[in-house]
Amino acid sequence: MLGLTRKDFMLLLVVVALTLLAPIILNPFPVSSSLGQSFNAGYPALLQRFAIFGILVIGFNILFGLTGYLSFGHAAFLGVGSYAAVWMFKLLSYNIVPAILLSVIVAGLFSIVIGYVSLRRSGIYFSILTLAFAQMSYALAYSVLTPLTNGETGLQVYSSDPQILAGAGAPSAPHFFGLPMASSTTWNIGGWAFTFEVGYYLCALMLIAAFYLSIRIFRSPFGMMLRAIKSNQTRMNYTGLNTKPYMLWAFIISGMYAGLAGGLLAAMDPLTGAERMYWTASGEIVVMAILGGVGTLIGPILGSGVIKYLENIVSKINENVLHQWFAALPDPIENGMIWLVHPFVGEGWHLTLGLLFMVVVIFLPGGLVQGGQRLGAMFNRKSGDVTAADRDAARQKTAE
Protein backbone atom coordinates (compact mmCIF):
# COMPACT_ATOMS: atom_id res chain seq x y z
CA MET A 1 0.00 0.00 0.00
CA LEU A 2 1.12 3.56 -0.75
CA GLY A 3 3.90 2.07 -2.86
CA LEU A 4 5.50 0.41 0.19
CA THR A 5 6.32 -3.18 1.03
CA ARG A 6 4.38 -4.82 3.83
CA LYS A 7 7.26 -4.36 6.27
CA ASP A 8 7.72 -0.68 5.44
CA PHE A 9 3.97 -0.06 5.58
CA MET A 10 3.78 -1.61 9.05
CA LEU A 11 6.71 0.57 10.15
CA LEU A 12 4.90 3.64 8.81
CA LEU A 13 1.78 2.65 10.76
CA VAL A 14 3.86 2.36 13.93
CA VAL A 15 5.28 5.85 13.41
CA VAL A 16 1.80 7.25 12.68
CA ALA A 17 0.36 5.68 15.83
CA LEU A 18 3.23 6.80 18.07
CA THR A 19 3.14 10.31 16.64
CA LEU A 20 -0.60 10.88 16.86
CA LEU A 21 -0.90 9.30 20.32
CA ALA A 22 2.23 10.96 21.75
CA PRO A 23 0.27 13.39 24.00
CA ILE A 24 -1.19 10.31 25.74
CA ILE A 25 1.79 7.93 25.61
CA LEU A 26 4.23 10.50 27.01
CA ASN A 27 1.97 11.35 29.97
CA PRO A 28 2.01 7.99 31.79
CA PHE A 29 1.75 9.39 35.33
CA PRO A 30 -0.86 11.60 37.06
CA VAL A 31 -0.05 15.29 36.77
CA SER A 32 0.11 15.96 40.51
CA SER A 33 2.34 12.95 41.30
CA SER A 34 6.08 13.33 41.78
CA LEU A 35 6.71 10.93 38.89
CA GLY A 36 4.39 12.95 36.66
CA GLN A 37 6.13 16.20 37.51
CA SER A 38 9.51 14.60 36.83
CA PHE A 39 8.99 12.34 33.81
CA ASN A 40 5.84 13.35 31.92
CA ALA A 41 6.86 14.72 28.51
CA GLY A 42 3.50 15.07 26.79
CA TYR A 43 3.26 18.85 26.91
CA PRO A 44 3.01 20.71 23.57
CA ALA A 45 6.28 22.67 23.65
CA LEU A 46 8.34 19.49 24.04
CA LEU A 47 6.22 17.40 21.68
CA GLN A 48 6.76 19.98 18.95
CA ARG A 49 10.51 19.75 19.40
CA PHE A 50 10.33 15.96 19.22
CA ALA A 51 8.58 16.19 15.85
CA ILE A 52 10.65 19.05 14.43
CA PHE A 53 14.03 17.57 15.29
CA GLY A 54 12.79 14.22 14.06
CA ILE A 55 12.24 15.83 10.64
CA LEU A 56 15.68 17.45 10.79
CA VAL A 57 17.52 14.20 11.54
CA ILE A 58 15.49 12.19 8.99
CA GLY A 59 16.80 14.57 6.34
CA PHE A 60 20.33 14.38 7.69
CA ASN A 61 20.11 10.59 7.57
CA ILE A 62 19.36 10.71 3.83
CA LEU A 63 22.78 12.27 3.32
CA PHE A 64 24.88 10.60 6.01
CA GLY A 65 23.06 7.28 6.24
CA LEU A 66 22.82 6.57 2.53
CA THR A 67 26.02 8.13 1.17
CA GLY A 68 28.34 8.10 4.19
CA TYR A 69 29.14 11.80 3.72
CA LEU A 70 29.22 13.35 7.19
CA SER A 71 28.13 16.99 7.30
CA PHE A 72 29.08 19.11 10.30
CA GLY A 73 27.20 22.14 8.99
CA HIS A 74 23.55 21.13 8.78
CA ALA A 75 22.53 23.67 11.39
CA ALA A 76 23.16 26.37 8.75
CA PHE A 77 20.11 25.18 6.80
CA LEU A 78 18.05 25.05 9.99
CA GLY A 79 18.93 28.66 10.74
CA VAL A 80 18.36 29.87 7.18
CA GLY A 81 14.93 28.23 7.19
CA SER A 82 14.03 29.95 10.45
CA TYR A 83 15.15 33.36 9.20
CA ALA A 84 13.17 32.94 5.97
CA ALA A 85 10.01 32.02 7.88
CA VAL A 86 10.25 35.00 10.25
CA TRP A 87 10.76 37.35 7.29
CA MET A 88 7.58 36.01 5.72
CA PHE A 89 5.76 36.72 8.98
CA LYS A 90 7.13 40.27 8.96
CA LEU A 91 6.36 41.02 5.30
CA LEU A 92 3.17 39.08 4.55
CA SER A 93 1.26 37.71 7.53
CA TYR A 94 1.40 35.18 10.33
CA ASN A 95 0.02 32.47 8.06
CA ILE A 96 2.53 29.64 8.33
CA VAL A 97 2.02 28.19 4.83
CA PRO A 98 4.00 30.84 2.87
CA ALA A 99 6.61 30.89 5.64
CA ILE A 100 7.23 27.15 5.54
CA LEU A 101 7.29 27.07 1.74
CA LEU A 102 9.89 29.84 1.62
CA SER A 103 11.93 28.10 4.32
CA VAL A 104 12.19 24.95 2.24
CA ILE A 105 12.98 26.86 -0.97
CA VAL A 106 15.63 29.12 0.56
CA ALA A 107 17.30 26.21 2.37
CA GLY A 108 17.31 24.24 -0.89
CA LEU A 109 18.97 27.09 -2.79
CA PHE A 110 21.49 27.60 -0.01
CA SER A 111 22.31 23.88 0.00
CA ILE A 112 22.99 23.99 -3.74
CA VAL A 113 25.75 26.55 -3.16
CA ILE A 114 27.29 24.81 -0.16
CA GLY A 115 26.90 21.34 -1.64
CA TYR A 116 28.42 22.26 -4.99
CA VAL A 117 31.60 23.48 -3.29
CA SER A 118 31.81 20.96 -0.45
CA LEU A 119 31.22 17.90 -2.61
CA ARG A 120 34.38 18.63 -4.57
CA ARG A 121 36.06 16.87 -1.66
CA SER A 122 35.19 13.73 0.28
CA GLY A 123 35.83 12.22 3.69
CA ILE A 124 37.09 14.47 6.45
CA TYR A 125 37.71 17.31 3.98
CA PHE A 126 34.01 17.38 3.06
CA SER A 127 33.09 17.47 6.76
CA ILE A 128 35.49 20.35 7.46
CA LEU A 129 34.16 22.31 4.49
CA THR A 130 30.57 22.01 5.69
CA LEU A 131 31.66 23.03 9.19
CA ALA A 132 33.46 26.06 7.77
CA PHE A 133 30.39 27.12 5.79
CA ALA A 134 28.19 26.75 8.85
CA GLN A 135 30.51 28.86 10.97
CA MET A 136 30.71 31.50 8.26
CA SER A 137 26.92 31.54 8.13
CA TYR A 138 26.80 31.95 11.90
CA ALA A 139 29.30 34.84 11.78
CA LEU A 140 27.38 36.54 8.98
CA ALA A 141 24.08 36.22 10.82
CA TYR A 142 25.54 37.31 14.14
CA SER A 143 27.53 40.38 13.16
CA VAL A 144 27.62 41.15 9.41
CA LEU A 145 24.11 40.79 8.03
CA THR A 146 22.44 42.48 10.98
CA PRO A 147 19.92 44.37 8.76
CA LEU A 148 18.58 40.96 7.75
CA THR A 149 19.13 38.97 10.95
CA ASN A 150 19.04 41.60 13.72
CA GLY A 151 22.35 40.27 15.01
CA GLU A 152 22.62 38.93 18.53
CA THR A 153 19.15 40.21 19.46
CA GLY A 154 17.49 37.83 17.05
CA LEU A 155 14.91 38.37 14.33
CA GLN A 156 11.33 38.79 15.46
CA VAL A 157 8.04 40.31 14.37
CA TYR A 158 7.07 43.83 15.47
CA SER A 159 3.78 45.65 15.31
CA SER A 160 5.34 48.16 12.88
CA ASP A 161 6.11 45.43 10.29
CA PRO A 162 4.09 45.71 7.06
CA GLN A 163 2.37 42.28 7.04
CA ILE A 164 0.64 43.30 3.82
CA LEU A 165 -1.58 40.21 3.64
CA ALA A 166 -2.78 40.34 7.25
CA GLY A 167 -6.42 41.31 7.18
CA ALA A 168 -8.41 42.95 9.91
CA GLY A 169 -8.98 40.64 12.83
CA ALA A 170 -6.27 38.20 11.75
CA PRO A 171 -4.54 36.35 14.62
CA SER A 172 -1.49 38.14 15.98
CA ALA A 173 0.43 34.86 16.22
CA PRO A 174 1.32 32.08 13.77
CA HIS A 175 -1.80 30.42 12.37
CA PHE A 176 -2.93 28.02 9.67
CA PHE A 177 -5.49 29.97 7.63
CA GLY A 178 -6.94 31.49 10.79
CA LEU A 179 -6.47 28.49 13.07
CA PRO A 180 -3.94 29.56 15.75
CA MET A 181 -1.05 27.20 16.30
CA ALA A 182 -1.32 27.71 20.06
CA SER A 183 -4.98 26.69 20.27
CA SER A 184 -5.42 23.47 22.22
CA THR A 185 -7.86 21.13 23.91
CA THR A 186 -7.20 19.45 27.26
CA TRP A 187 -8.77 16.21 28.43
CA ASN A 188 -8.85 15.75 32.20
CA ILE A 189 -9.30 12.07 33.01
CA GLY A 190 -8.89 11.27 36.69
CA GLY A 191 -5.51 12.62 37.74
CA TRP A 192 -4.27 12.77 34.13
CA ALA A 193 -4.34 15.78 31.81
CA PHE A 194 -3.80 15.28 28.08
CA THR A 195 -3.26 18.40 25.94
CA PHE A 196 -3.82 18.27 22.18
CA GLU A 197 -2.44 21.35 20.42
CA VAL A 198 -2.92 22.39 16.81
CA GLY A 199 0.76 23.32 16.48
CA TYR A 200 1.93 19.89 17.55
CA TYR A 201 -0.37 18.05 15.17
CA LEU A 202 0.81 20.22 12.29
CA CYS A 203 4.38 19.19 13.14
CA ALA A 204 3.24 15.57 13.56
CA LEU A 205 1.68 15.48 10.09
CA MET A 206 4.84 17.01 8.64
CA LEU A 207 6.90 14.35 10.43
CA ILE A 208 4.74 11.54 9.05
CA ALA A 209 5.01 12.96 5.52
CA ALA A 210 8.79 13.38 5.90
CA PHE A 211 9.14 9.82 7.16
CA TYR A 212 7.05 8.43 4.29
CA LEU A 213 9.15 10.35 1.76
CA SER A 214 12.35 9.03 3.34
CA ILE A 215 11.07 5.45 2.96
CA ARG A 216 10.36 6.06 -0.73
CA ILE A 217 13.85 7.55 -1.18
CA PHE A 218 15.52 4.65 0.65
CA ARG A 219 13.73 2.06 -1.52
CA SER A 220 14.03 3.91 -4.84
CA PRO A 221 16.69 3.43 -7.54
CA PHE A 222 18.03 6.82 -6.45
CA GLY A 223 18.47 5.46 -2.92
CA MET A 224 20.18 2.34 -4.26
CA MET A 225 22.57 4.57 -6.19
CA LEU A 226 23.40 6.47 -3.01
CA ARG A 227 24.09 3.19 -1.22
CA ALA A 228 26.39 2.16 -4.04
CA ILE A 229 28.27 5.44 -3.66
CA LYS A 230 28.67 4.73 0.06
CA SER A 231 29.88 1.21 -0.68
CA ASN A 232 32.52 2.08 -3.27
CA GLN A 233 32.39 5.44 -5.00
CA THR A 234 35.77 4.92 -6.66
CA ARG A 235 34.63 1.77 -8.42
CA MET A 236 31.51 3.56 -9.67
CA ASN A 237 33.65 6.35 -11.08
CA TYR A 238 35.80 3.77 -12.88
CA THR A 239 32.70 2.48 -14.66
CA GLY A 240 32.21 5.95 -16.15
CA LEU A 241 29.27 6.91 -13.95
CA ASN A 242 29.28 10.50 -12.71
CA THR A 243 28.24 10.32 -9.04
CA LYS A 244 28.36 14.08 -8.37
CA PRO A 245 24.74 14.83 -9.41
CA TYR A 246 23.43 12.08 -7.13
CA MET A 247 25.50 13.38 -4.24
CA LEU A 248 24.38 16.94 -4.84
CA TRP A 249 20.72 15.95 -4.95
CA ALA A 250 21.10 14.03 -1.70
CA PHE A 251 22.68 17.10 -0.14
CA ILE A 252 19.90 19.37 -1.44
CA ILE A 253 17.11 17.09 -0.21
CA SER A 254 18.77 16.87 3.18
CA GLY A 255 19.11 20.65 3.32
CA MET A 256 15.44 21.11 2.41
CA TYR A 257 14.43 18.83 5.28
CA ALA A 258 16.50 21.05 7.59
CA GLY A 259 14.86 24.16 6.12
CA LEU A 260 11.43 22.65 6.82
CA ALA A 261 12.45 22.01 10.42
CA GLY A 262 13.68 25.60 10.73
CA GLY A 263 10.42 26.95 9.32
CA LEU A 264 8.43 24.87 11.81
CA LEU A 265 10.56 26.13 14.69
CA ALA A 266 9.74 29.68 13.63
CA ALA A 267 6.06 28.78 13.23
CA MET A 268 5.96 27.59 16.83
CA ASP A 269 7.91 30.59 18.13
CA PRO A 270 8.38 33.51 15.67
CA LEU A 271 11.80 34.46 17.00
CA THR A 272 15.09 33.18 15.68
CA GLY A 273 18.73 33.92 16.29
CA ALA A 274 22.18 33.00 15.01
CA GLU A 275 22.66 30.41 17.77
CA ARG A 276 20.65 27.92 15.71
CA MET A 277 23.51 27.92 13.19
CA TYR A 278 26.35 27.39 15.68
CA TRP A 279 28.63 24.37 15.27
CA THR A 280 27.35 22.72 18.46
CA ALA A 281 23.87 22.58 16.93
CA SER A 282 25.32 20.68 13.95
CA GLY A 283 27.13 18.34 16.31
CA GLU A 284 23.88 17.61 18.12
CA ILE A 285 22.31 16.53 14.83
CA VAL A 286 25.17 14.10 14.23
CA VAL A 287 24.81 12.65 17.74
CA MET A 288 21.06 12.19 17.24
CA ALA A 289 21.61 10.24 14.02
CA ILE A 290 24.33 7.99 15.47
CA LEU A 291 22.43 7.38 18.70
CA GLY A 292 19.28 6.29 16.87
CA GLY A 293 21.00 4.33 14.13
CA VAL A 294 22.61 5.75 10.98
CA GLY A 295 21.14 4.41 7.76
CA THR A 296 17.99 3.06 9.41
CA LEU A 297 14.52 4.43 8.79
CA ILE A 298 13.21 4.96 12.31
CA GLY A 299 16.59 5.55 13.98
CA PRO A 300 16.64 9.35 13.48
CA ILE A 301 13.27 9.70 15.22
CA LEU A 302 14.45 7.60 18.17
CA GLY A 303 17.75 9.44 18.48
CA SER A 304 16.23 12.92 18.36
CA GLY A 305 13.51 11.90 20.82
CA VAL A 306 15.98 10.51 23.37
CA ILE A 307 18.24 13.57 23.28
CA LYS A 308 15.38 16.05 23.51
CA TYR A 309 13.91 14.05 26.38
CA LEU A 310 17.21 14.17 28.26
CA GLU A 311 17.61 17.87 27.50
CA ASN A 312 14.14 18.88 28.65
CA ILE A 313 13.18 16.30 31.30
CA VAL A 314 16.34 14.93 32.90
CA SER A 315 17.89 18.40 32.95
CA LYS A 316 15.16 19.76 35.25
CA ILE A 317 15.60 17.09 37.95
CA ASN A 318 17.26 18.95 40.81
CA GLU A 319 18.31 18.06 44.34
CA ASN A 320 14.88 18.79 45.79
CA VAL A 321 13.30 16.28 43.40
CA LEU A 322 15.90 13.67 44.38
CA HIS A 323 15.07 14.22 48.06
CA GLN A 324 11.42 13.48 47.23
CA TRP A 325 12.40 10.27 45.43
CA PHE A 326 14.55 8.88 48.25
CA ALA A 327 12.65 10.34 51.22
CA ALA A 328 11.56 6.89 52.43
CA LEU A 329 15.17 5.75 52.90
CA PRO A 330 17.22 6.33 56.09
CA ASP A 331 19.06 9.64 56.00
CA PRO A 332 22.57 8.22 55.40
CA ILE A 333 21.36 6.04 52.51
CA GLU A 334 19.23 8.89 51.13
CA ASN A 335 22.19 11.26 51.10
CA GLY A 336 24.38 8.60 49.52
CA MET A 337 21.86 7.94 46.74
CA ILE A 338 21.52 11.67 46.06
CA TRP A 339 25.30 12.04 45.98
CA LEU A 340 25.45 9.17 43.47
CA VAL A 341 22.62 10.29 41.16
CA HIS A 342 22.92 14.09 41.30
CA PRO A 343 25.90 14.41 38.88
CA PHE A 344 23.86 12.70 36.14
CA VAL A 345 20.75 14.89 36.28
CA GLY A 346 20.00 18.59 36.23
CA GLU A 347 22.92 20.52 34.84
CA GLY A 348 24.81 17.23 34.52
CA TRP A 349 22.42 15.71 31.99
CA HIS A 350 25.18 15.92 29.39
CA LEU A 351 27.08 13.33 31.45
CA THR A 352 24.13 10.94 31.11
CA LEU A 353 24.02 11.62 27.38
CA GLY A 354 27.76 11.04 27.08
CA LEU A 355 27.61 7.70 28.88
CA LEU A 356 24.64 6.61 26.78
CA PHE A 357 26.45 7.61 23.61
CA MET A 358 29.57 5.67 24.65
CA VAL A 359 27.52 2.55 25.35
CA VAL A 360 25.80 2.79 21.98
CA VAL A 361 29.01 3.38 20.02
CA ILE A 362 30.89 0.56 21.77
CA PHE A 363 28.21 -2.11 22.07
CA LEU A 364 25.54 -1.07 19.54
CA PRO A 365 27.18 0.42 16.43
CA GLY A 366 23.79 0.28 14.75
CA GLY A 367 22.30 2.55 17.40
CA LEU A 368 19.14 2.08 19.41
CA VAL A 369 17.55 0.33 16.44
CA GLN A 370 20.17 -2.40 16.65
CA GLY A 371 19.47 -2.71 20.37
CA GLY A 372 15.78 -3.18 19.65
CA GLN A 373 16.58 -5.77 16.98
CA ARG A 374 18.77 -7.73 19.40
CA LEU A 375 16.04 -7.71 22.03
CA GLY A 376 13.50 -8.85 19.46
CA ALA A 377 15.78 -11.65 18.27
CA MET A 378 16.39 -12.75 21.85
CA PHE A 379 12.68 -12.97 22.63
CA ASN A 380 11.99 -14.75 19.35
CA ARG A 381 14.72 -17.26 20.15
CA LYS A 382 13.26 -17.89 23.59
CA SER A 383 9.79 -18.25 22.09
CA GLY A 384 11.18 -20.69 19.52
CA ASP A 385 12.86 -22.73 22.26
CA VAL A 386 9.64 -22.99 24.21
CA THR A 387 7.73 -24.00 21.09
CA ALA A 388 10.26 -26.74 20.29
CA ALA A 389 10.12 -28.05 23.85
CA ASP A 390 6.35 -28.14 23.75
CA ARG A 391 6.50 -29.94 20.43
CA ASP A 392 8.88 -32.59 21.82
CA ALA A 393 6.69 -33.09 24.86
CA ALA A 394 3.63 -33.51 22.68
CA ARG A 395 5.43 -36.08 20.51
CA GLN A 396 6.54 -38.04 23.58
CA LYS A 397 3.00 -38.03 24.98
CA THR A 398 1.64 -39.24 21.65
CA ALA A 399 4.19 -42.06 21.53
CA GLU A 400 3.23 -43.19 25.02
Q: Has residue 149 been placed in a domain?
A: yes
Q: CA–CA separation, 297 vs 225, rounded Å? A: 17
Alpha-carbon radius of gyration of the chain = 24
pLDDT in tens, the chain (400 residues): 778 899 999 999 999 999 999 999 999 999 888 788 888 999 999 999 999 999 999 999 999 999 999 999 999 999 999 999 999 999 999 999 999 999 999 999 999 999 999 999 988 999 999 999 999 999 999 999 999 999 988 999 998 889 998 877 778 899 998 899 999 999 998 889 999 999 999 999 999 999 999 999 999 999 999 999 999 888 888 888 889 999 999 999 999 999 999 999 999 999 999 999 998 999 999 999 999 999 999 999 999 999 999 999 998 888 888 888 888 889 899 999 999 999 999 888 999 999 999 999 898 888 999 888 888 888 877 665 545 445 555 455 444 4
Q: Are 108 and 256 in contact (CB under 8 A)?
A: yes
**Is residue 150 one of the residues assigned to a domain?**
yes
The half-sphere exposure of 43 on its side-chain side, counting CA atoms within 13 A, is: 14
> Is 37 within a domain?
yes
In a domain, residue 10? The reply is yes
Determine the pLDDT at residue 392: 55
H-assigned helices in 220-366: 221-238, 244-268, 279-292, 299-312, 319-325, 331-341, 349-363
Owning domain of residue 270: 6-296
Task: Check if the beta carbon of residue 367 is closer than 8 Å to that of residue 360.
Answer: yes
Residue 389: inside a domain, yes or no? no
Name the domain count of the chain: 1
Q: Residue 365 has what pLDDT?
A: 86
Q: Of 319, 321, 302, whose CA–CA distance to 364 is shortest? A: 302
Q: What is the pLDDT of residue 116?
A: 95
Cα–Cα distance list, 280 to 74, 129, 399 (Å): 11, 16, 69
Residue 228: is it exposed, middle or buried by C-beta count within 10 angstroms (0-12/13-18/19+)?
middle
